[in-house]
Amino acid sequence: MSGNRAFLIVMDSVGIGGAPDADRFFNGDTADTGANTVGHIAMAQPLSLPNLDRLGLGAAIHLASGLRAPGLGSEPQGLWGAATEISTGKDTPSGHWEIAGVPVPWEWHVFPKTVPAFPDKVTARICELAGTDGILANCHASGTQVIEDFGAEHIRTGWPICYTSVDSVLQIAAHEEHFGLDRLIALCRDLAPMLHGMRVGRVIARPFLGEAAGAFRRTPNRRDFAIAPPADTILDIAARAGRVTHAIGKIGDIFSHRGIAHLHKGKSDADLADHLLRLATDAEPGSLVFANFVEFDTNFGHRRDLPGYAAQLEWFDGVAGRLIDRLRPGDLAIFTADHGNDPSWTGTDHTRERVPVLGFGAGARAVGLVGFSDIGASIMKHLGLDPPQHGKSFL
């Protein structure tokens, strides 16, 4: 068995523009054409990312979108390129599944921008599982705004707050103490099979605390119940071959906990970084470490907080540098993303973009424009394992 280890790190929503089909994806009435998460941040304020740029981030942005991002002009010393998605969603499961070798073979079901947004049978099932006479919101909404708007009524009535977005998702917000965290998670878990049967990608539990508008805050105890991938991912292939697999952050939820030996969770990206750096030392020979860092997306992209997103990028650049310093000979680390979420863009939803492919451990090489699935195929080649159904190694 090869002793080579692989670290696949998804910087959630860190897109670099240039998706050729961005005109088919929208924030409100505005097409995503021209969105560029990292590029627009760099244009708006100074951005210091020495480790990622040394691997080839600036070069990848230019390759993907034609933009010369200010401050990101290092000569690449790592593996670098840009990946284009073929799945028809700009959401978390679509991006991660395709990276792992399984492009989404169907059109996701999304709920209409109407009030109510959910069909009567879904509402009735939620009420049945929650033991309530109704639900609140029942619309497209921002996750932070919806608890401001309905949190007090939720505490008074006990009705769950149910909302959606342009993604294929049904989210349920409820108070951890008044409604109960375990009760909320059980509600979402038991509702999920019905929604998955409708080709809705995820049911998400969104707990919060606070006693009045202005004081409500979401907690880190989110849980995603995602539909299972329809074919073997790189996690399945590695596990079946006897390799140890480690999932950091929400990777377990995204892949329905399939093919995962060890799950490492935390209350923040800082906690997840601690897991990643520890595993750089402790992970077994031949193992696969698959990580997602979500706060770029949840805390800054959706909230269109450009300075906050910039600060998170700079913090993560330091994590990447520390990881690289801990890797062993024969290790491969690939940094990528699952979609964009340009904080300079209109609206609050993801943006359709290409994503960076930045690697350490494969020498200095330009891999050009590749597919998302080529990332997973390359990880499998490095580990000496069979490739997934889709993708071609660029190693």
List of residues 6+ apart from 14 with CB closer than 8 A: 37, 38, 296, 313, 337, 340, 355, 356
- 254 close to 211: Cβ distance less than 8 angstroms: no
Q: Which amino acid is at 29?
A: D
Please state whether the predicted TM-score (pTM) of the whole model is above 0.85: yes
Tell me the Cα Rg of the chain: 20
Identify the pLDDT of residue 166.
Answer: 85
Segment (H or E) for 182: helix 181-197
**Coarse DSSP helix, strand, coil percentages of the chain, rounded to the nearest 5 percent:** 35, 20, 45
**Structure token digits, residue 92:** 């978390």
- 28 close to 5: Cβ distance less than 8 angstroms: no
Residues forming the annotated binding site? 12, 297, 302, 338-339, 350
Residues forming the annotated binding site for Mn(2+)? 12, 297, 302, 338-339, 350
Nearest alpha carbon to residue 375 among 21, 85, 116, 1: 85
**Structure token digits, residue 324:** 């690289």
Identify the pLDDT of residue 1.
Answer: 64
Alpha-carbon span 277 to 321, nearest angstrom: 10
Helix (H, G, I), strand (E, B) or coil at 23: helix
Nearest alpha carbon to residue 66 among 99, 89, 90, 33: 33
Tens of pLDDT, residue by residue, the chain (395 residues): 679 999 999 999 999 999 999 999 999 999 999 999 999 999 999 999 999 999 999 999 999 999 999 999 999 999 999 999 999 999 999 999 999 999 999 999 999 999 999 999 999 999 999 999 999 999 999 999 999 999 999 999 999 999 999 889 999 999 999 999 999 999 999 999 999 999 999 999 999 999 999 999 999 999 999 999 999 999 999 999 999 999 999 999 999 999 999 999 999 999 999 999 999 999 999 999 999 999 999 999 999 999 999 999 999 999 999 999 999 999 999 999 999 999 999 999 999 999 999 999 999 999 999 999 999 999 999 999 999 999 999 99
CA atoms within 13 A on the CB side of 1: 11
